[in-house]
Homo-oligomer: A and B are copies of this chain.
């Protein structure tokens, strides 16, 4: 009886995940080359399947599975994968059921309208146009927190959506520490005399040559083309359809090879995660990253800790130079290394370097936290935003397009999402520190022997999928709780050397 229901439940979930895989493929296809005129009908089909998955996640059948399987004496006898799957389904069920259906529908409609208004407002650098929508979205989110409940700070409930277990109490300590040490470092660098020469970065580098370099590089990083492919899109991404089909995309800029090279190494980091999730989790909601931040830790680890490491380029720079010989003529490895690690305060988050990036996130975190504590309102945002940029980064946006309107997230109601980006940096640095106790990263990178590094990540992170919460994963992998000190030390050492402070 218990076994039969367990099997039925797993079959039911497998179907949901199958639909999800079909949706993901349609999403990938739309972005990589679906015929333009077919998009509208395809969007309908995606909507139809998404609605089916949503209905299955909140159906009476799902409610019955949860009721029957979560009874203590039954739950204890379930397989471990079933237990985790049930927990995920229950969490999802409760999240979705607690909001009145009419209210949720109104909210979805508001967001879909808000995104296009945000686009217009950003184009016109006119916050006032977006403000009424943002106010309503914040109101909805505040009510949702009421429905969902919260422990401690109301914002905790939003954080938990993207980073299970994360709280304001934890983040305040981590981010304050980070801010206090990075702000002076950024100031020192801004005043430094020994700035890298970056002029050679912008010489023309033909797209086909960039692609050829990447097709050689990716397998060496451990990306298995038998389980993936590389395509071209406006906005690069990685997408895991299943662990044996994880695709990446990139964008080529012929006047700045860094876009494709570092962008692809970044997506490769995401993809390696998905390619190495245990196959026992296929067909369950556990077959994905532990959290948005842990996922980002893997892409950042590859992009920065590997892809911007001097030893990595000791091996690859001569080969890169073969693809664009005139561009790099007379540029030493050291000059190259310093140029690709240039750091400077800037206004736009997505263009920021690894040193200043966390400050962009901390600003957003502090603002969101105040919003959901009721300390500020939408109308206050431009001023609060500009003040913080001036204070932390030493530059002030000259309009809202390059200020408070720059990111799409809030127009879609994604509050609580931003902190994951900075957590990704902290996780990555802490993983690096633990990994280096066992492995000589510099030597391995010089040898082009990435396998032991990738295997360490798989052993401690990838294979678990969503079966471990992010903070447990970090503690188990590194032997200590999440600690901002690792990122701080990594940044200090690296940038003091590069800027000869």
The answer to whether A241 and B42 touch (CB under 8 A), given A224-B37, A226-B36, is yes
Chain B CB within 8 A of A25 CB: yes
Residues of B near A36 (CB, < 8 A) are: 226-227
Chain B CB within 8 A of A332 CB: no
The secondary structure that dominates the A interface is helix
Residues of B near A25 (CB, < 8 A) are: 22, 25-26, 29
Chain B CB within 8 A of A35 CB: yes
- For the complex formed, measure the closest distance between the CB of A238 and the CB atoms of chain B, giving whole angstroms: 13
Chain B CB within 8 A of A21 CB: yes
- For the complex formed, measure the closest distance between the CB of A455 and the CB atoms of chain B, giving whole angstroms: 19
- For the complex formed, measure the closest distance between the CB of A211 and the CB atoms of chain B, giving whole angstroms: 16
The docked-state distance in angstroms from the alpha carbon of A22 to that of B21 is: 10
Residues of B near A226 (CB, < 8 A) are: 35-37
- For the complex formed, measure the closest distance between the CB of A322 and the CB atoms of chain B, giving whole angstroms: 24
Count, chain A residues at interface, CB 8 A? 37
Q: Do the beta carbons of B35 and A228 come within 8 Å of each other? A: yes
C-beta contact mask, A36-48 vs B, less than 8 Å → 1, else 0?
A: 1110111011001
Q: Do the beta carbons of A241 and B15 come within 8 Å of each other? A: no
C-beta contact mask, A204-237 vs B, less than 8 Å → 1, else 0?
A: 0000000000000000000011111100000000
C-beta contact mask, A12-53 vs B, less than 8 Å → 1, else 0?
A: 001100110111011001000111111011101100110010
A residues at B contact (CB < 8 Å): 14-15, 18-19, 21-23, 25-26, 29, 33-38, 40-42, 44-45, 48-49, 52, 224-229, 241-242, 244-247, 282
Other than the known A22-B25, A22-B26, A29-B29, what 16 A-B pairs have Cβ atoms closer than 8 Å? Answer: A18-B44, A18-B49, A21-B41, A21-B42, A22-B45, A22-B49, A25-B25, A33-B229, A35-B226, A37-B226, A37-B244, A38-B241, A41-B241, A41-B245, A41-B282, A42-B242
Q: List 14 A-B contacts (CB under 8 A).
A: A15-B52, A18-B45, A18-B48, A21-B41, A21-B45, A22-B23, A25-B29, A35-B226, A35-B245, A37-B244, A38-B244, A41-B241, A42-B241, A42-B242
